[in-house]
């Protein structure tokens, strides 16, 4: 797996909170499977790489546990890329446009997660309110 592919994978996993640091999540395994599906699709779309979810999970664990220097390098690259200023319209290239589209897609994924959490909270509240009246 090339360094660029690993950066892409780590970027998606970090943004989607794959490790559940900002949880708690009702169905963490289902959530992780969905996130890993996004990683598989992104790697295939951007790099033409086909890897299974299990291969990517193992690679992720290896990065965090065994290859900490490599993981630190990837995090530095991601920190620098987060500080990229949006170019002026006259300076748009296909590369900068692609980065912008990816950012929009990541924001869209984040919005989907927020919507999902909001629905779960609303359902819990309805259940709590409904439970009070049933007693």
106 and 61 in a common domain? no
pTM score > 0.85 for this model? no
Neighbours of 18 (CB within 10 A): 20
97 and 36 in a common domain? no
What is the arithmetic mean of pLDDT over 109-117? 85
Neighbours of 7 (CB within 10 A): 16
Q: What is the pLDDT of residue 56?
A: 92
Q: Structurally, how many domains does the chain consist of?
A: 2
Taking only the tens place, the pLDDT of each residue in 93-104 is: 677 777 778 788
Residue 20: which region, alpha, beta or left (left: phi > 0; alpha: psi -120 to 50)?
left
111 and 72 in a common domain? no
44 and 7 in a common domain? yes
**What residues have CB less than 8 Å from 81, skipping those under 6 apart?**
11
27 and 54 in a common domain? yes
**CA torsion, ordered 88, 93, 97, 98, to nearest 10 deg:** -150
> By residue range, what is the domain housing residue 117?
91-135
């Amino acid at each position: 797996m090339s360094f660029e592919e690993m950066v892409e994978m780590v970027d998606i996993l970090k943004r989607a909170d794959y490790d559940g640091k900002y949880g708690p999540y009702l169905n963490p395994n289902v959530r992780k499977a969905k996130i890993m599906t996004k990683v598989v699709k992104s790697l295939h779309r951007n790099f033409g790489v086909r890897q299974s979810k299990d291969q990517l999970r193992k690679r992720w664990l290896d990065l965090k546990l065994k290859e900490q220097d490599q993981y630190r390098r990837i995090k530095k690259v991601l920190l620098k890329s987060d500080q990229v200023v949006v170019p002026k319209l006259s300076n748009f290239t296909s590369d900068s446009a692609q980065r912008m589209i990816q950012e929009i897609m990541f924001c869209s994924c984040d919005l989907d997660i927020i919507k999902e959490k909001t629905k779960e909270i609303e359902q819990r509240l309805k259940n709590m309110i409904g439970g009070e009246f049933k007693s």
